[in-house]
Amino acid sequence: MSALSSDNPAYSSGILSLLPLYYVGWADSILSPDEVKLIRDKVNQLDFLTITDKRQLIKWTNPSNPPSPELFRHWISVLRKQAANMPKGLKKDLITLGLEMAKTSATDQEVLKWQTQEAKEALESIEQALGIRHSQSLQTIFDEEPEQEASFEVAALKELLDDQYSKTREQMRTLLSDSAFNIETIRDKEEHRQKVLEWCRHLAQRGLGALSYPEVYGGKNSMGDYIAVFEMLGYHDSSLAIKFGVQFGLFGGSVLWLGTKKHHDKYLADIGTLKLPGCFAMTETGHGSNVRGLETTASYDPETDELIIHSPRESAGKEYIGNALHGKMASTFAQLIVKGVNHGVHAVLVPLRNEQHQVLPGIRIEDCGYKLGLNGVDNGRIWFDQVRVPRENLLNRFGNIDAEGNYSSPIENPSRRFFTMLGTLVGGRVSVPRAGLSAAKTGLTIAIKYALKRRQFAPKDGAPETLLLDYPSHQRRLMPLLAKSYALDFALTYLTERYVNRTEEDIREIETLAAGLKSYSTWFTTQTLQECREACGGKGYLTENRFADLKADTDIYTTFEGDNTVLMQLVAKGLLSDFKKSFHDEGFVAVLRLLGDRVSSTLTEYNRFFTRNTAIEHLSDEDFQLDAFKYREKKLLISVSQRMQRYLRKKIPAYEAYLRCQTHLLALAEAYIETLVLEQFIKVYKNIEDPKLKTVLKRLCDLYALSTIEKHKGWYLESEYMQAPKSKAIRRLVTKLCRVVREDASLLVEAFDIPKNCLAAPIAF
């Protein structure tokens, strides 16, 4: 049988039905061993193929002897001719094309064999397994974008992402779609600040700022709804999100969580309506993230029953304080000194301006000026010069001064009191990454929508140019980020649930989760927006297409609410403390468990079958993926513990030992958070009942898991957890998953349901 004799080759009807799949399968990439095995198994099961057909088709699956370039050119000629002659109304896909081709050389009896539903399903299973439903090679065949069917219900995925706060999210979508919230490019900071203040008032008038406050003060006692609003604002102008968070979350939250009923009754209702704008004055120029080292003092004067707030030096000025220019009052964090004793950092309400908005005596406020981004937020610096306020202004939930001038606290240990106080304010670290993720989703939506319209370069003269998203390099850039955005969404939903339902027993664990996820997620936002900007080329550089502001406004997320690097060190310290505590609490049992874990790890490391296993079923198994993540986390935890112990035995000071292990600690914290994210993704998709939606989420989960393992492949190879063949197989599978997820990319970003007013970028429409 000659394959090259004419435009009508003497192929049987059975071979012609599979020819489109073979062409695209080989054109997309070298077939992996698992794909070869799958095709051969399917071919042997097809009843409509003759023995001769099967031999020929199996011969064409030989990776060491792939189809020649000459044969490829012939195949595309045959396929393009048939595609051009397909009857109108027929769906343009590989299966339909194959069946139409088969008709040209089939007898009536043969048609009965291969035009059954079973035969069609068999061909579809090969197509699905190869991940070629939407390949750049299809465009070469059809000269236009092939028709695609939705593989899942977008509404069902949107409902999953909206979680239990869907009503609030829909309210926000309606509000942000109003013309009053049209996004504008405003480069004058004063004008931008006034617009943001106006937007903030709109939100306050609708009760959205007070959502986390008790009902008696105009709220709904729902921190979950407040966080949902903050997350939705991340799709809009980030200056608004931050202004909203400072006023209602930080300023109002400090009064709610650090104050007592007298403060609630006096201030909360006005804070919630924005009648009393205020700020959260914690950070200082000289100490940054070191809150315990703040220099501002609040000294009690028993003669007048007042607190004297003072900045002892220029470096004690409060730095980067949002709402400093619009605010009338500040929750000011200072060292509380009573009868000459420093009781540590406490918060005091300090009025800043009078009713005419004039700065009060003893207070100096300076505008921070223009910043890299967030110029709609009125950041300022504040200094206090012997400013007196009533003793009642001390937010006294955790530390009180009575009428006789005596200090008392329900928490005697100063260190525990300090961390308990900060723990009540962890809501910011829960909220910020959610708004940051919204910005990343916005960037992904713009970049993917653009890549589904923008064409560049043609496979040959006269053929349509190739869509950007059909280039494997473009898929590799964007699809892992899309998968990770879903992974982080589910992880942050888990964190929110834990935070909203927190108890005193688990608050420290929640603080660790919040610190880690805030860091990991906001770093992701920065990375994603840069990649999306580049993926849109020069169009992405235009202000109108939003990347300029998205990038500039969210860049600060990596260093406020805690510098990410510092926060990740806190995560690692918490893991080490828990590790150490398990030995104290469980003694010999903990030692046996550790030894058991190490023996198990050793068996895994040196099991040649495991370290070299390249089967797709194995690599796609969540047990393998989760084991790989946990193995990395556990081994890093054990090794850094051992290093610390060695340094301490050598009499190296604890602080220096910690510094020597600093980069190791950061790797440990990253491994811990990545494991948590994967655990939550697996939990979510396994609970989905809709088989179509479950399949899509499983692909995304696989892509997140395997691309993360690929990122750390050097570590895994050094640790002998895997060998080179397995590492290569993971790389191939990630590339394939990028191609498969690309099929659903449009629907996956549609499920975010970002209001058009917020998306705004012309290239997205």
| Domain covering 158-273: architecture | Orthogonal Bundle (1.10)
| Mean pLDDT, residues 744-759 | 96
For residue 233, give the amino acid letter.
L
Q: Are 385 and 310 in contact (CB under 8 A)?
A: yes
Using pLDDT thresholds of 50, 70 and 90, give the confidence band for residue 750.
very high
> In angstroms, rounded to a whole number, what is the distance separating the alpha carbons of residues 438 and 549?
14
- pTM of the predicted structure, to 2 decimals: 0.84
pLDDT at position 606 is 53
DSSP 8-class letter at 391: G
Q: What residues contact residue 363 under an 8 Å CB cut-off, 6+ apart? A: 350, 352, 382, 383, 384, 385, 387
- Residue 102: closest CA among 21, 190, 217, 212: 21
> In angstroms, rounded to a whole number, what is the distance separating the alpha carbons of residues 546 and 535?
14
Give the tokens for residue 645.
């112990």
| Mean pLDDT, residues 79-105 | 80
| Catalytically active residues, by annotation | 561
Query: What separation in angstroms does the CA of 507 have from each of 366, 419, 421, 640?
Result: 37, 11, 12, 25
Q: What is the per-residue pLDDT across 175-199, written as a single tens digit (0 to 9) for each?
A: 999 999 999 889 999 999 999 999 9
Asked whether the predicted pLDDT for residue 230 surpasses 90, the reply is: yes
For residue 613, give the amino acid letter.
N
pLDDT at position 109 is 62
Q: What is the per-residue pLDDT across 304-320, written as a single tens digit (0 to 9) for each?
A: 999 999 999 999 999 99
Q: Could you give the percent of the chain with pLDDT greater than 70?
A: 90
Give the tokens for residue 141.
């065949």
Choice among 16-20, 322-326, 742-746 with the minimum mean pLDDT: 16-20
More confident residue, 31 or 181: 181
3-state secondary structure 3-67: CCCCCCCCCCHHHHHHHHHHHHHHHHCCCCHHHHHHHHHHHHHCCCCCHHHHHHHHHCCCCCCCC
Pick the CATH number of 278-414 from 3.40.718.10, 2.40.110.10, 2.40.30.10, 3.40.50.880: 2.40.110.10
pLDDT at position 595 is 47
Residues of the chain with CATH 2.40.110.10: 278-414
Reduce the DSSP state of residue 175 to 3 states and report it: helix
Asked whether the predicted pLDDT for residue 424 surpasses 80, the reply is: no
> In angstroms, rounded to a whole number, what is the distance separating the alpha carbons of residues 499 and 430?
8
Reduce the DSSP state of residue 434 to 3 states and report it: helix
DSSP 8-class letter at 467: B
DSSP 8-class letter at 307: E
Number of alpha carbons in the 13 Å side-chain half-sphere of residue 43? 25
Residues of the chain with CATH 1.10.540.10: 158-273
Q: What is the per-residue pLDDT across 623-674, written as a single tens digit (0 to 9) for each?
A: 999 999 999 999 999 888 888 888 888 888 888 888 899 999 999 999 999 9
Fold of 429-750: Butyryl-CoA Dehydrogenase, subunit A; domain 3 (1.20.140)
Q: Percent helix, strand, coil in the chain (nearest 5)?
A: 60, 10, 30
Residues of the chain with CATH 1.20.140.10: 429-750
Asked whether the predicted pLDDT for residue 134 surpasses 90, the reply is: no
Q: Average per-residue pLDDT in the chain?
A: 89
Asked whether the predicted pLDDT for residue 592 surpasses 50, the reply is: no
Residue corresponding to tokens 């590339």:
735
Q: Can you say whether residue 6 is alpha, beta or left, with left for phi > 0 and alpha for psi between -120 and 50 degrees?
A: beta
> In angstroms, rounded to a whole number, what is the distance separating the alpha carbons of residues 168 and 556?
27
